[in-house]
Each structure stands twice: as C-alpha cells, then as structure tokens.
Amino acid sequence: MGLVAALACAAGPSVAAAESCPVFEGVMIFPTIQGPEGPEDYCWEVNLFEGQELRQIDETHAGVFYTEPPEHHAFEITAELAHDAVGTEVPTSLEVIQPNLIVLTVHHRAGNPAAGGAPFDYPVVAGAGWEGGFISVEIKGPPDESELKAKPSPPIAEEPAPQCDVPALQGRTLKAARRALEHADCRLGPVHGRHRRGAKVVKQYRRYGAVLPAGTEVGVRLG
C-alpha cells in the first residue's frame, strides 16, 4: 500500500503536546519496535477546520464531526494494526486527548493476550497479522503420468475486476488525497477552492465508501 510514513513521537496520553506530535495526514505508521523496552504510545495532531470537532468513537476509532446543524460525520480515523515477527496480532487502541490530538497505543509489553501473556516475537511493526504465524508444509515432487491422468486440472479462477472504492479524503492534503485515490483504483477529478500551500480537502464530491467502476474521478474542494 503506497503510504508516506509519519514520524510518530513516543508520548503518553498524559504528557503528549501538540508541538511534539506530527500532523496526521491519513496514516499513522509508527517506527519498528525492537523489544519490550520500546515505546507503546505515538501521537499525531489532527488539523481541524472551523466548525469541526475531534471525538472518540470507541477504543479503536475516532472521528472528525461538523458541529453546526445538521451535525454530521466528516471522516473517521482507525487505529493502525500491528503484528510481531511471526505474524501474531499485537493489540492496538486509539485515544483522543486534548481538542485535536490522537494517541495510538501498541500494547506489546503485556504480551499476547490470546496466549496468556506470552511475550511477542520482536520486532513489532505496523500492519495486519496473520493467524497461527508460520506453518510447515510438505514439498512433494512433480506428479507421475498416472496421477496426471487421474486428476483433471482445476479451472483457473478469474481475478475480480478492479473497482474504485472511494476513500475518505476530507482533512487530507491534495497530495495525500491523490495517493489515496490511486491506491483505491480511483482518479482525482476537478479540484475546487483555493490552491494554496498546505490546503486540505474540506469536501469530496463522491460519497466515502461508494463502490464505482475503476478509474472513476472523485472531485474535491480545498479550504
């Protein structure tokens, strides 16, 4: 997935400060955790426009909401997943602190809760894990002629056609929005508003989560 890693700061919820946290641009990649002495908390500053508010949704989600009637959801932020060296999932959570700061906590020091607190196999990195870690498989030689006659070749599965899954763009820079659209097999459409340095998307002209034909253009407005 084409992501630009944000430089996270290791700061607990009680001591994090806006000036020490990088700006959230749609991703929250944390540095590789090499051992149990590594930090667990990483923070980002969320840029809010006038009439917007950052709120906690649950222990792994936060959201930016418009506060003026009719009150509605602008975009959602999900805690980054994590796994250890053998693919075991490492629990993560997300917390809103102060008006515009989010803290991602990677709970690696307590060990694997699914294995009675057994230590994780470091390093711990960002991304989804895979169940069971590595497994052993038996490698057999090529089949002989009798086996080939007995077993018909399985049909070749057709790959699903690509489609444009419209991502959430509000709050992102134009560059980050373009990357997100390309990753989702969409294209950036007309850009309205002020094209100034650091401008963020305040509106997108196709609904977040819509499934459209690959290459569909998604227009945006900058503020």
Residue 90 clears pLDDT 50, i.e. is over it: yes
DSSP secondary structure string, 1-33? ---PPP--B---TTT--GGGSPBP-S--PPPPB
- On whether the CB atoms of residues 27 and 6 are closer than 8 A, the answer is yes
State the average pLDDT over residues 93-122: 95
Per-residue pLDDT at 148: 59
The ranges assigned to domains in the chain are: 18-126, 163-222
pLDDT in tens, 30-56: 999 999 999 999 999 999 988 899 999
Whole-prediction pTM: 0.54
Q: Identify the weakest region by mean pLDDT among 3-7, 25-29, 100-104, 126-130.
A: 3-7
- On whether the CB atoms of residues 220 and 169 are closer than 8 A, the answer is yes
CA count, 13 A, side-chain hemisphere, 13:
12
Q: Identify the weakest region by mean pLDDT among 13-17, 140-144, 174-178, 189-193.
A: 13-17
Q: Whole-angstrom Cα distance, residue 10 to residue 103? A: 9
State the average pLDDT over residues 107-127: 94
Per-residue pLDDT at 3: 30
Residue 171 clears pLDDT 60, i.e. is over it: yes
pLDDT in tens, 65-78: 988 877 777 889 99
**Mean pLDDT score of the chain:** 83
Residue 8 clears pLDDT 80, i.e. is over it: no
Per-residue pLDDT at 164: 92
Reduced to 3 states (helix: H, G, I; strand: E, B; else coil), residue 34 is coil
Per-residue pLDDT at 131: 62
Strand ranges (DSSP E) for 34-147?
41-45, 52-58, 61-66, 72-78, 82-83, 89-90, 92-97, 101-106, 125-126
pLDDT in tens, 128-168: 888 654 455 566 667 666 665 666 667 777 777 889 999 98
CATH class as words, domain 163-222: alpha beta
Residue 219 clears pLDDT 60, i.e. is over it: yes
